[in-house]
Amino acid sequence: YLDFLLFSSLFLPRSYQVTMSAYGQGMTQDDMMAKDMVILVDDNDEIIGNASKVASHTFSKKNPRGQLHRAFSVFLFNEEGKLLLQQRADDKITFPAVWTNTCCSHPLHGYDPSEVDSPKDVASGKVPGVKNAAIRKLEHELGINPNDLEHADFKFLTRLHYWAADVVTHGKKAPWGEHEVDYILFIKKNVTFKANPEEVMDTKYVTLPELQKMMKKKDLLWSPWFRIIAEQFLVHWWKDLDATLTTDRFVDVTTIHRFDPTAEHMGGAGNASTYLGTAASPYAATGAAAPAAPAAKIGNAALKQGSYGKVKIHKHSKLSQLSHIDEVFSALWLQYGGGAMENQIDLKDENAHFCDDMLNKVSRSFAAVIHQLPKGLCMDILIFYLALRALDTIEDDMEFFKADNSVKIKHLQDFYKVGLVTDGWHMDGVGLGDERTLLENYHKCVAVFKTLSPASQEVIADITKRMGAGMASYVEKDLGQGTVDIPAYNLYCHYVAGLV
């Protein structure tokens, strides 16, 4: 069946003009999968081409998450402030029978009026292409008269980058899934609608408390994108709906929020796993100050260097690594031959256990060495390392503070007297992967820090202060082409590594 759809899509014209009024007439789900041409984009939402829905939604070893493309999600509220939900038809190919927001679909290539938005369209917040697509699909799925909708009715808020394998429907090796940069559109309007049974199984207007109650029911399926949006974003947008629609409080045309699906939607035919990071509310304040702007995340959360994959780093091949026989022997001896010494950390304390676990996750070679230090020094150096790793994570994040570097500078300069010592301090949304987890739970490190001797606390605070100040002095310098000379390079290395 999949081969048939792929074959069909290859022999269909890739550039054609279709009017909105003609969309969907006489077309089956298979027809739309084969004929509709979605807009392919890179991680920065720059257009790189187009492809059929079949090709873009196919998860395989070659494309573990399919092909990244544009999408939109409409959240339609009535004048009472209730959100219209839909349950997707059970014969939909991707994510059938799940509950989700009012309308989820794709702007398409080759339509008139155009559904393709330029960077200028996005920067202006007008996104006429996406709005044209939304009007087309609201008619197709819900029978809403397009003459009753205008561009001005829609409020574009932001973009979300996510992916999800449809393993719930199609099994562990599911060949289908979504990988989208999703444009969020809000609209508040009383409309007359009649659901298209080939697209929509059921509909329901709900309040926020009613939605939250529905989502706790174990017998209801929810789209993976809507579940995360509802929990991390929607609750903030809906809290003051009029303000969301009439002001720019939540409008962000520059940030692309990124998140992996929950565990049950990973896998698929390409065995896709963590990629974008864990979803977290971009509107949550840190323990020290509110973030300057919602965080945009891109890159591989598994990488500790190279700005999580945004900067190219050098890697040795496995063959090259294995050619160093003495190093291989030493590693095997350390792991299996009795070369390792006993971990000196007291793991009975919950906070100490967390710190030890984080050390193993965020360090490369330091963990093995720190664990073998004497008991009177082991925990002190462990906390010292985690404090500097937290500081380094703040410095490395080039997206979270992009709107206002002064916020980042202040965090770096003040970390030694705020984050390092303040009970309950944490920072949400900064970094990726394990480094992000470290910052979000840093209050546990603070608790352990306060059990150290006054002398150890003084040394850690002093080095943290000097490193933070040094890092802060480079925040607004353009190091894209390196430093201006060797002395400047040496000074930077002194701040970020030498002080350790």
Cα–Cα distances in Å, from 203 out to 166, 338, 437?
A: 22, 64, 38
Contact 205, 193 (CB under 8 A): no
- Among candidate residues 229, 246, 265, the one where a domain is terminated: 265
Cα–Cα distances in Å, from 460 out to 53, 211, 409, 447, 491?
A: 55, 48, 20, 14, 20
Q: Where are the beta strands (DSSP E) in 270-338?
A: none
**Of 341 and 10, which is predicted with more confidence?**
341
- Domains in the chain: how many in total? 2
Is there a single domain that holds both residue 62 and residue 191? yes
CATH of the domain at 364: 1.10.600.10
Is there a single domain that holds both residue 49 and residue 167? yes
Confidence of residue 500 (pLDDT cuts 50, 70, 90): low
The count of residues in the chain is 500
What range does the domain containing 240 cover? 2-265
Is there a single domain that holds both residue 7 and residue 156? yes
Q: Is this prediction's pTM over 0.85? A: no
Residue 85 maps to a domain: yes
- pLDDT value for 404: 81
Is there a single domain that holds both residue 386 and residue 251? no
**Of 9 and 329, which is predicted with more confidence?**
329
- pLDDT value for 11: 46
Tokens of 51: 């492809």
Does residue 421 have a pLDDT over 90?
Answer: yes
Residue 314 maps to a domain: no
Concatenated DSSP letters of 199-267 = TEEEEEEE-HHHHHHHTT-TT--B-HHHHHHIIIIIHHHHHTHHHHHHSSTT--SS-EEEEPPPGGG-B
CATH of the domain at 81: 3.90.79.10
38 strand-pairing partners = 51, 108
**Poorest-pLDDT segment among 204-208, 310-314, 339-343, 394-398:** 310-314
Does residue 4 have a pLDDT over 60?
Answer: no
Is there a single domain that holds both residue 390 and residue 480? yes
**pLDDT (tens digit, 9 = 90+) per residue, 232-289?**
899 999 999 999 999 999 999 999 999 899 888 999 999 999 888 876 677 754 443 3
Looking up tokens 């939604």 gives 57
Confidence of residue 499 (pLDDT cuts 50, 70, 90): low
In terms of C-beta density within 10 A (0-12 exposed, 13-18 middle, 19 or more buried), how is residue 389 classed?
buried
Of 141, 178, 180, 435, which residue is the catalytic one? 180
- pLDDT value for 309: 47
- Among candidate residues 222, 244, 265, the one where a domain is terminated: 265
**pLDDT (tens digit, 9 = 90+) per residue, 135-174?**
999 999 999 999 999 999 999 999 999 999 999 888 999 9
Residue 184 maps to a domain: yes
**pLDDT (tens digit, 9 = 90+) per residue, 335-370?**
666 555 556 666 678 888 889 889 989 986 788 788
Of 103, 104, 378, 445, which residue is the catalytic one? 104
Is there a single domain that holds both residue 348 and residue 249? no
Is there a single domain that holds both residue 234 and residue 113? yes
Residue 300 maps to a domain: no
- Among candidate residues 200, 231, 265, the one where a domain is terminated: 265
**Poorest-pLDDT segment among 292-306, 361-375, 418-432:** 292-306
The answer to whether 180 is a known catalytic residue is yes
Is there a single domain that holds both residue 361 and residue 259? no
Report how far residue 211's alpha carbon sits from residue 204's, in angstroms, rounded to the nearest whole number: 10
**pLDDT (tens digit, 9 = 90+) per residue, 39-64?**
999 999 999 999 999 999 999 999 99
Is there a single domain that holds both residue 356 and residue 255? no
Is there a single domain that holds both residue 354 and residue 218? no
Report how far residue 137's alpha carbon sits from residue 123's, in angstroms, rounded to the nearest whole number: 24
Does residue 405 have a pLDDT over 90?
Answer: no
Q: Mapping DSSP to helix (H, G, I), strand (E, B) and coil, where does residue 334 land?
A: helix
The answer to whether 355 is a known catalytic residue is no
